[in-house]
Structure 1
Amino acid sequence: MSEIDDEFADEGQAVYEDLLARTGEQAPRPRLEPTRRVLDLLGDPQRAFPIIQLTGTNGKTSTSRLIEGILRAYGLRTGLFTSPHLVSFNERIVIDGEPISNEALARNWEDIRTYVEMVDLELENAGDVPLTFFEVLTVLAYASFADAPIDVGVIEVGMGGEWDSTNVADAQIAVFTPIDLDHVARLGSTIAEIARTKAGIIKPAATVVTAAQHPDAMAEIVKAAERDEAPVIAQDVDFALTADHVAVGGQVISVRGRAGEYNDLFLPLYGDHQGQNAAVAIAAVETFLGDGSQPLSTEPLVEGLSEITTPGRLQLVGIEPTVLIDAAHNPHGARSLAAALGKYFDFAETVFVVGVLGDKDAEGILSVLAPIAARIHVTEPSSERSIPAASLARRAAAVADPGLIHAYDTVEDAVFAAREWANDGPSRLVVVTGSVVLAGEVIELAEAGEWKKS
């Protein structure tokens, strides 16, 4: 944050606190009309720029960042909307590669606040609940992007797709990352049900770009696309990751795009899944810039990929000992994490620091990690939805050797003990995972303790 923007830090925090007073984003309302009503009163700012919208179970934020970074390298002024944040609320609304300033956040909030309160009153008079945290945040993001202004918005859904408040906009390109089981209480208990809800982001005249999917998910995406006469651009059919090799600081990938071959591209991210995400991002950018008919020029693509960062995704936050943060919060994400650790890192033993929120499949996550763990430190992130450490320890012992499990009431204690254990032996790694909330807390601990300088 700049020194000038420090003057507005209190105002930025006040905006966040105003939104926090509303129904939280983990209890979304399956509705679009209230968000649409506010935006209508504001003159429909979401129609001021073209939109690439993303949904899926895992990889949404990474793929969103990849698309945004590549588009920015081609000279476009971008808006990026992702959730949740790791450390700062401003991370959710990014303009031209930088989190929105506190000054702009506060100014845009004042511009929309009266209209938000008008719709709150309408809802209350109708016997409905006021606009939720995420509904207001969506309005704030679209208004901020129109105010900037931007050339293109890259919008990640909050949950699902069909009734997610971001879906009030009509995206020109609907991007699907891999779909698996998550949020089953709200989205459905099968992959097909979840995919059906997510496919709601497909609109008439849109183009669909999708990662390789489970057959049940692909069937739902194709059905929705056919209904809206939207062409489907599918991974491993219309484009593909053709090669990926471990490299210092990441990997080198080659991609067969819709319109061109892109070979030996450095991607500063770890994990085969990130190579797959990059292939999807390249196909989406090809589709946006030239409807897939023209290959991308090499220099901006190389630049865009080389500058990508994905905070909280296999992020190195400490050395001596090495500490990695990965916000995997479901079994699918845990499997990607485990595969990446085996391929991209060479450590003899690993201690996992794990904290999980109550609506997640804790046993599923832990059963993936247990076979590669020397120790598992379970703890409780600072969220009212967190599974208590003692309860998580009992659940961990049901799927892993109880001798691996060590419970800590605080995140700081769990991480301190993990780092101490790692320093006591050769070739030991600390991995923090299980929750975005936990990832954010440990990033702050690392910055405060200057772990990379230790």
Structure 2
Amino acid sequence: MTEQPQARLAETYAEVEDALLSRWPETKLEPSLDRIEAFLDLLGNPQTAYPVIHLTGTNGKTSTSRMVDTLLRGLDLRTGRFTSPHVEKMSERISVDGEPLSDEEFVAAFNDVAPYTHLVDEQESHPLSFFETVVAMAYAKFAEAPVDVAVVEVGMGGSWDATNVADGVVAVVLPIAVDHAKYLGDSPAVIAVEKAGIIKAGAVAVLAEQEPDVSAVLADRIAEVGATAARAGTDFGVVSRQSAVGGQLVSLQGLRGRYDELFLPLYGAHQAENAAVALAAVEAFVGGSAPLDDELVRAAFAQVTSPGRLEIVRTGPTILLDAAHNPHGAEATAAALEDSFTLDPLVGVIGVMGDKDAEGLLAAFEPHLAQVVVTQNSTDRALPAAELAVVAREVFGEDRVVVEPRLADALDRAVALAEDGSGGGSIAAGGVLVTGSVVTVGEARAMLRPSRRRGEQ
């Protein structure tokens, strides 16, 4: 009898990163919950130890998760939060009490589950993936903490997503559009069938505004499992919003009451809509008929952050980072640029993944960018800059496209173009938008924020 391989415990963050990345990548999918269910069973099913607020949708999941988390902590609840992908560092995906795990905590979380990984690998027809392993780490860590509630963002889709072994008492469905078409389908209605899978029996389904055919799919699922629906535009929503220095002032109608002139330090109508969804999700979780405390809500929204979502990382010229990576997200970002910024010229630095709708994304930004510097991030999945340039020239025209394959060079070139186009004044009116992929934004963020404190998000 041959001896089976045993998981080696890690001593450093780098060793954990290497061990996780050696597993199936997030982009390689085999639609089954068998592996993650077997894994969590060996771990004692930690995902049943606390209530879960589960979020799906095409865009806005991470920002909304962070808002939900902040509101819950304002209620003196201990929270766990799982989001993906990460912007700069893998450990960002797992947070407790609003803070990502430290390197030491991340190593400990890995070592808690590592002894069981090979047991599952041996039993199943496919080995555990990177994503399944990190999901198990999160669920186990939340049980160990222990948390009062976990805020969990799906990785992709819903029904077959590894996070879906947990049954959310609140299921949040953010706007559904086309993304990951190869895996999820090529129309919002088809994709909605997969995403609706997070809505479980007895749950409250908090639904952002959707296209009519998507709404019909979600309504069918809610009726099928006996869930309760709370719909944006009917049961809650944005009453008003106006741009303000550093963000916007929003008035929200919740499920339990109205909350006026809340400062939200994020930009764009889409973030106001995310805030309304987050508020409704927390009200649904808390239950009862009384509104949440107004000052609590006000204080919570005022401290929300969402790295890489129209985040200003430098001024003179202004450099914005935004993780938009599909046409739907790009359209929301473009509208926010028009709404909240007066940067002239605005130069884009764009690097996308090879499986994304690059033409649709570029078209959404074209009216707002004076020029675009096409580039690529460091991953194998990145669309080569030369190939992206071909698409960009079709959208922007030859004269407005610059090619810089190295991201660092692209940033330097874009800053120079923004400064030159601003007339050379002491305070540059131009700006740079880095976008196209979470990875591109994460790598740019690391280059542009080298002096930030260790662990700061």
Same fold (TM over 0.5): yes
Residue deviations 1:318-368, cap 9 Å, x none? 111110000000001110111111110112221000000011100000011
2:117 maps to 116
Q: Which amino acid aligns with 1:429?
A: G
2:191 maps to 194
Question: In structure 2, how many angstroms separate the alpha carbons of the residues matched to 1:316 and 1:443?
Answer: 10
Say yes or no: does 1:320 pair with 2:320: no
- Give the one of 145, 148, 151 matched to 2:148: 151
Please say if residues 209 and 231 of structure 2, whose CA atoms lie closer than 8 Å, have aligned partners that are also in contact: yes
1:366 maps to 362
- Any stretches of 5+ residues in structure 2 without a counterpart? 1-9, 423-428, 453-457
Shift of 1:10: 6.1
Please say if residues 192 and 217 of structure 1, whose CA atoms lie closer than 8 Å, have aligned partners that are also in contact: yes
Q: Percent identity?
A: 47
Shift of 1:38: 1.0
Question: In structure 2, how many angstroms separate the alpha carbons of the residues matched to 1:422 and 1:400?
Answer: 17
Say yes or no: does 1:281 pair with 2:278: yes
Please say if residues 53 and 172 of structure 2, whose CA atoms lie closer than 8 Å, have aligned partners that are also in contact: yes
1:389 maps to 385
Q: Which amino acid aligns with 1:339?
A: A
Say yes or no: does 1:135 pair with 2:132: yes
Measured on the aligned residues, the alpha-carbon RMSD in Å equals 1.3
2:33 maps to 32
2:244 maps to 247
Say yes or no: does 1:179 pair with 2:180: no
- Give the one of 397, 413, 417 matched to 1:417: 413
Residue deviations 1:40-97, cap 9 Å, x none? 1111100011000000000011000000011011101100000011111110000001
Residue deviations 1:407-437, cap 9 Å, x none? 1110000000111122223221100000000
Please say if residues 286 and 294 of structure 1, whose CA atoms lie closer than 8 Å, have aligned partners that are also in contact: no
Question: In structure 2, how many angstroms separate the alpha carbons of the residues matched to 1:141 and 1:448?
Answer: 28
- Give the one of 426, 431, 444 matched to 2:433: 431
* SS state at 1:376 partner: strand
Distance 1:340 1:379, change over 3 A: same
Question: In structure 2, how many angstroms separate the alpha carbons of the residues matched to 1:101 and 1:377?
Answer: 35
Residue deviations 1:124-144, cap 9 Å, x none? xxxx22000001111111001
Question: In structure 1, how many angstroms separate the alpha carbons of the residues matched to 2:382 and 2:197?
Answer: 30
- Any stretches of 5+ residues in structure 1 without a counterpart? 1-8
Q: Which amino acid aligns with 2:376?
A: E
Question: In structure 1, how many angstroms separate the alpha carbons of the residues matched to 2:390 and 2:189?
Answer: 32
2:92 maps to 91
* SS state at 1:80 partner: strand
Q: Which amino acid aligns with 1:170?
A: D
2:48 maps to 47
Q: Which amino acid aligns with 2:417?
A: W
Q: Which amino acid aligns with 2:384?
A: P
Query: Between Structure 1 and Structure 2, how many residues are aligned?
Result: 438
Shift of 1:13: 2.2
* SS state at 2:395 partner: coil
1:350 maps to 346
TM-score (ref. length: structure 1): 0.95
Question: In structure 1, how many angstroms separate the alpha carbons of the residues matched to 2:15 and 2:295?
Answer: 42
Residue deviations 1:264-300, cap 9 Å, x none? 1110101110000000000001000125x22111121
Shift of 1:115: 1.4
Q: Which runs of 4+ in 1 moved over 3 A?
A: none
Residue deviations 1:380-413, cap 9 Å, x none? 1111011100110001112221211111110000
Question: In structure 1, how many angstroms separate the alpha carbons of the residues matched to 2:62 and 2:107?
Answer: 25
- Give the one of 212, 216, 238 matched to 1:215: 212
- Give the one of 387, 400, 403 matched to 2:399: 403
Please say if residues 251 and 267 of structure 1, whose CA atoms lie closer than 8 Å, have aligned partners that are also in contact: yes
TM-score (ref. length: structure 2): 0.94
Say yes or no: does 1:442 pair with 2:455: no
Question: In structure 2, how many angstroms separate the alpha carbons of the residues matched to 1:111 and 1:92?
Answer: 17
Say yes or no: does 1:269 pair with 2:266: yes
Question: In structure 1, how many angstroms separate the alpha carbons of the residues matched to 2:282 and 2:343?
Answer: 37
Q: Which amino acid aligns with 1:270?
A: Y
* SS state at 1:110 partner: helix
